[in-house]
Amino acid sequence: MNDVKDAAPQTRAASPGAPVPQECDVLVIGGGPAGSTAAIRLAQCGHRVTVLDKARHPRFHIGESLLPANMRLFEALGVADEVRAIGMDKRGAEFVSPWHDHKQTFYFAEAWDKSMPAAYQVRRADFDEILFRRASAVGATALDGCRVTDVRFLDDQSGAVVSARRDDGELLEIHTRYVIDASGRDTFLGNRFKAKVRNPRHNSSALYGHFANAELNTGTDAGNITVFWFEHGWFWFIPLADGTTSVGAVVWPYYLQSRQIPLKDFFLATIALCPPLAARLEQATLVDGVEATGNFAYACDHVRGPNYLLVGDAYTFVDPVFSSGVMLAMNGAFSAAEAVDAWLAAPASAEPAFRRFERTMVHGPREFSWFIYRVTNPTMRELFMAPRNMLRMKEALLSVLAGDIFGKTPIWASLFAFKTVYYLASVFHPRRTWTAYRRRRNNIREVAEPLGRSV
C-alpha cells in the first residue's frame, strides 16, 4: 500500500442526524472485523472512506475466539492495547473425545513460528466496536444504525450510487468510486448477483448460548478453547474475560431438524449427550437466550467485479471448528485494502494487486477446509489425539491452528506429510473409512426443507 499518512484527530462515529458525505472514494458495507479493517487501512492511506453498519455498536455477534495470527494485524491497525484490555488469554486449544480416555492440548508456543504463543477470547460486541470506532478515529465516516438498501453501479464504470436508510428514517445517497461488501452472512452483493452457493462438501448447523460459573481449566490454561467431539458433531467451550463462557454445538442439520421441544431445552439435552462438557457445566447457569443457525458453509461464485469486491463472510463462510473466521476476515481485508488502494491510485495497473487479493481469499478457506471436512472422521480424531512431530508434522499442524498460513513459515512439506499419513491410515482401516464416508455423505446431502439463518 501507499505510505500510511498520519491518523486524523480522534473522532467519534457519526451520530444520528450528523451530516454524511455525498461522495467518497470507497464505501464499505458492514462494520464487522472485515469491513472495519478495510476502512481503517484505506483511511490510513488518506482515502475518503464511508463504512455503513445496519446495527448499532455494541451489538451481539457469535465467534469469540481469535488466533495468534490476529495479533500482528491488531498492531498494524493500532488497536492492540484495546483488544488486550478486553481479552481472555488463549494459549492453546484442547480436544476432548468420547472415544479416548485422555484429552489433548495443543499449545501455540509449540508451533513452527515460536513468536506467536497466544491469542485472545473476546466478547465480539466489544471487539467489533473497538474496530468500528478505530475506523472513525483515523478519518473514515463510520455510521452504525444505517442499512444499505441498494447499490446501483454506473454504466461508465465510474463507481456506484449507494442508497441507505438510517434508523431515524433519513435516506442517504452516496456516490462512491468503489464498493467493498463486508456485510457478513447477509452477503449483500452476493445475494444481489445471485452468487451465493451452498458448499456442497459441508453442511452444518449450530446452536449456542452463554453460561456463568462454568468450570474452567486451571492456571494459564484457563482461557484455552476446548473442542468436545460427540455423536452428532462437536461443541465449542470458550471462556471470556467477564466470567461467562460461550458454549455452542455444531451439528449435522438432520439432528437440529429433529427438534420437537423448545430450543433451550433441546440445547441443554444436547449438552447432556456429552458427559465431559456436562460435567464442566454442572454448576453453571445459562445467562441468556439460546440461538440457532443453519446451513453454515457457503461461498460466492466470484470475489470481485467492476468497482466492487467481497471480503470476509460476504464471500465465504466455513465451519468454525478452528476459530478461523475473524482472522480470515481481517487478513482478507488487509489484502482488499491493498488492492483497492492500488486501483484508486492507478486503475490500469492494479490488476496484480487484485490477483493477490483473489489468491488470499481462496487460500485461507481452502487450507482450513481440508481439516474441517475431516474433523469428525475417526482417522483424523486419532491423529489429533495422538500427535507426533515426525517431519515436524505437529508443528505444521499447530501453525494452521494458529492461523499462520499466509506468511513465509515453511510448513507446507510437513502438512503434505501429515495428509499422506492421514490417507495411508484411512487405507489401512477400510471398514472404518467406508463407514465414515457413507455417514458423512448422508449428512451433507441436501435436506428436503432448507434451513434459514435461524431456527
**What would the DSSP string read from start to end of 147-182?**
EEEEEEE-TTSS-EEEEEEETTS-EEEEEEEEEEE-
- Distance from C-alpha of 383 to C-alpha of 178, rounded to nearest angstrom: 46
- With 90 as the cut, is the pLDDT of residue 448 above it? no
Least confident range from 153-162, 170-179, 441-450: namely 441-450
**pLDDT of res. 267:** 97
**pLDDT of res. 166:** 95
Burial 376-404 (b: 16+ CB within 10 A, else e): bbbbbbbbbbebeeebbbbbbbbbbbbbb
**pLDDT of res. 45:** 97
Cβ proximity of 327 and 403 under 8 Å: yes
Q: Higher-confidence residue: 454 or 405?
A: 405
* Residue 230, helix vs strand vs coil: strand
Residue carrying C-alpha cell 515460536? 114
Please say whether the structural domain 89-121+204-294+374-455 has been given the CATH code 3.40.50.720: no
Domain boundaries, the chain: 23-75+124-198+298-366, 89-121+204-294+374-455
Could you read off the pLDDT of 50-90 as tens digits, one per residue?
999 999 999 999 999 999 999 999 999 999 999 999 999 99
- Distance from C-alpha of 76 to C-alpha of 123, rounded to nearest angstrom: 21
**pLDDT of res. 203:** 83
| DSSP output for 91-105 | -EEEEE-TTSSSEEE
Helix (H) or strand (E) holding 135: helix 124-137
Average pLDDT over residues 222-251: 97
Residue 265 amino acid letter = D
Cα end-to-end distance, the chain, whole Å: 43
Q: Higher-confidence residue: 104 or 157?
A: 104
Q: Is 106 exposed, middle or buried (0-12, 13-18, 19+ CB in 10 A)?
A: buried
Burial 212-247 (b: 16+ CB within 10 A, else e): eebebbeeebebbbbbbbbebbbbbbbbbbeebbbb
**pLDDT of res. 1:** 62
- With 80 as the cut, is the pLDDT of residue 11 above it? no
Task: Please tell me the chain's helix, strand, coil percentages from 3-state DSSP, rounded to the nearest 5.
Answer: 40, 25, 35
Peptide bond into 58 cis (omega under 30): yes
Residue 211 amino acid letter = F
Instruction: Report the candidate in 312, 222, 324, 210 with the shortest Cα–Cα distance to residue 271.
Output: 210
Average pLDDT over residues 159-176: 96
Report residue 7's pLDDT band, with 50, 70 and 90 as the boundaries.
Answer: very low
Helix (H) or strand (E) holding 336: helix 325-345
- With 80 as the cut, is the pLDDT of residue 307 above it? yes
Domain 23-75+124-198+298-366: CATH superfamily is FAD/NAD(P)-binding domain (3.50.50.60)
Instruction: Report the candidate in 253, 200, 249, 204 with the shortest Cα–Cα distance to residue 227.
Output: 249
Could you read off the pLDDT of 275-288 as tens digits, one per residue?
999 999 999 999 98
